[in-house]
Amino acid sequence: MPAKYVQRGYGQLEGNRLTGITFGNIESQAPAYEDTAATTPIAELENGMLLCVIADTSETAPLGRIAVLPGVAPATARPYLVFSERKMYDERMGYCDFVDKAADKVDGLLFPKLIGLTPDSCIFTTNTINEAPDSLEVNDVLYVGDDGYLTKTAGTNQVYQFTVVRKYTMPDGQPAVKVQVQAKA
Q: What's the rounded Cα separation, in Å, for the pair 12 and 88?
A: 14
Which residue in 120, 124, 88, 122 sits closest to 14, CA to CA? 124
Question: Which residues, other chains included, contact 28 with Cβ-Cβ below 8 Å and sequence gap of 6+?
Answer: 111, 112, 113, 114
**What mean pLDDT value characterizes the chain?**
91
Question: Which pLDDT does position 86 carry in this prediction?
Answer: 73
Residue ranges, the chain, pLDDT below 70: 1, 88
CB-CB contact of 28 with 113 (8 Å): yes
Question: Which pLDDT does position 63 carry in this prediction?
Answer: 81
CB-CB contact of 118 with 32 (8 Å): no
Q: 68's torsion region: left (phi>0), alpha (psi -120 to 50) or beta? A: beta
Question: Which pLDDT does position 1 carry in this prediction?
Answer: 63
DSSP state letter for 156: S
Question: Which pLDDT does position 139 carry in this prediction?
Answer: 97
Question: Which pLDDT does position 64 carry in this prediction?
Answer: 84
Question: Which pLDDT does position 58 carry in this prediction?
Answer: 75
* Cα 75 to Cα 130, 144, 154, 164, distances in angstroms: 20, 11, 11, 23
For 159, counting Cβ atoms within 10 Å of its Cβ (0-12 exposed, 13-18 middle, 19+ buried), the class is buried
Q: Residue 115's CB: how many other CB atoms inside 10 A? A: 22
The whole-model pTM stands at 0.92
pLDDT per residue over 113-141, tens digit each? 999 999 999 999 999 999 998 899 999 99
Question: Which pLDDT does position 56 carry in this prediction?
Answer: 84
Question: Which pLDDT does position 169 carry in this prediction?
Answer: 92
DSSP state letter for 41: B
